Amino acid sequence: TKREGKQYLEQVKLLPKDFTWKITGGVYILETKVIFVSYSGPLIAVVVHSKEIAQQQRATFEFMWGMLK
């Protein structure tokens, strides 16, 4: 995808129609930290500074991503 003269690599996958979890937050996985954000009620964010936890969260994400079609 190109936006404003920059090229981005993107891949989109959709959750199954019968997916019933109500998603009210987000997880941002960076190189050496993970940020957990809750968007329901007051905005809350927790930052975990740990390369090991970031690696584990990334592995979990990659596993789940691979399960989607």
* Each residue's pLDDT tens digit, 16-62: 888 888 889 999 999 999 999 999 989 999 999 999 999 999 999 99
Mark residue 24 as left, alpha or beta (left: phi above 0; alpha: psi -120 to 50; beta: remaining): alpha
Number of H helices, E strands in the chain: 1, 5
- The pTM score is 0.73
pLDDT band for position 15 (cuts 50, 70, 90): confident
